[in-house]
Amino acid sequence: MPKDRITHAARTPARASLLSMTNRDNALWQQYWRDQRTDLNQQGVNPLLMRWWSSLGLAKGSRVLVPMCGKSQDMLWLIKEGYRVTGIELSPVAVRAFFFEHDLGSTKRTQGPLTRWGHGNLSILCGDFFAATAADLGPIDAIYDCAALTALPEDIRRLYVTHLALIVPDARQLLVLTSEDSVPGESLGQISTVAQEIQTLYAERFKIDLAQVETHVETDQQCPQERSETVHHKAYRMTVRASAHLIDQPDNASGEDRITTEQIR
Ligand SMILES: C[S@@+](CC[C@H](N)C(=O)[O-])C[C@H]1O[C@@H](n2cnc3c(N)ncnc32)[C@H](O)[C@@H]1O
């Protein structure tokens, strides 16, 4: 084994150290849900999802991961379209509200630091995304990221993408929806390109296609007195490159992960 790698069980001090790097906004999100706020979570089904999902060409029955799912109705839309969905959400308040509001009876069981809520083809793992392992998720074919990457502080996003590759090594298709602040003086050409950050984070493993940009002028619902902002909502379709080498695969039946020191630095 190369020297820069450490092998460890799925929930070890190395994972605890990863969590200590990534969890600084967790208390804020938990409070957000306790305060019953909804301003950062989408209402209704996202039109960009409905418009672009079928273009990924996924077979019905495919398994879709929805990280940082909140209580997004997008999950119900995906199920209605014939997919199997696994969400991950930090807040038990959000998960409970999701099942209650849609009148869905649920099973509930503890899985290490996570709690798995289930109903038919839907599972939501309640807990910290960075505590989830490949074994927790099982096989996943595609990822639908709606405001998950962008919900995280910028310096954590590389760890998010690395952790995704580790726990969902076989996902070949991604639909990533972002909200990007407009930059003063930018041209239409600049608006219509893949954001540099998306390029940096994903281009090594995925071919990226910017499918759509919608520009809106928006006011912060929490601070309506503040200036309105121009925001670009973008839909990126990503397909794994044939040459993409998968980051370390689980090497035993229990699905324990290997993490390289490079990844958690
Ligand atoms: C901007 S909201 C987006 C929610 C949903 N995807 C949507 O489109 O409505 C971000 C969500 O990520 C959740 N979240 C933040 N950090 C998380 C973490 N480390 N693990 C799991 N969920 C997290 C928050 O509780 C919140 O529900």
Q: Which domain holds residue 66?
A: 5-38+46-264
| Residues that constitute the known binding site for S-adenosyl-L-methionine | 33, 68, 89
Q: Is the CB of 149 within 6 Å of ligand 1?
A: no
Counting Cα atoms < 13 Å in the Cβ hemisphere of 147 gives 17
DSSP 12: S
What pLDDT does 11 receive? 55
Q: CA angle, 158 as apex, 195 and 115 as ends, to 5°?
A: 115
SS3 state at 179: strand
What pLDDT does 219 receive? 79
* Confidence check on the interface: ipTM exceeds 0.95, yes or no: yes
Q: What is the rounded average pLDDT of the residues 43-51? A: 95
Nearest partner of 81 among 112, 43, 37, 51, judged by Cα: 51
- The amino acid sitting at 54 is S
Q: Ligand 1 centroid to 29 CA: how many Å?
A: 8
Neighbour count for residue 246 (Cβ, 10 Å): 11
**Could you give phi then psi for residue 145, rounded to 5 degrees?**
-110, 105
Q: What is the CATH number of the domain that holds 170?
A: 3.40.50.150
Q: What is the rounded average pLDDT of the residues 74-89? A: 98
Q: How many domains does the chain have?
A: 1
Neighbour count for residue 126 (Cβ, 10 Å): 23
- Cite the beta strand spans of the chain per DSSP E: 5-7, 63-67, 84-89, 107-111, 114-119, 122-126, 142-146, 173-181, 206-218, 229-240, 258-260
- The amino acid sitting at 117 is W
Q: Is the CB of 147 within 6 Å of ligand 1?
A: yes
Query: What's the mean pLDDT when you consider all of the chain?
Result: 86
CA–CA dist 141, 201 (Å, integer): 20
Mutation test residue for ligand 1: of 90, 116, 160, the one with most atoms within 8 Å of CB? 90
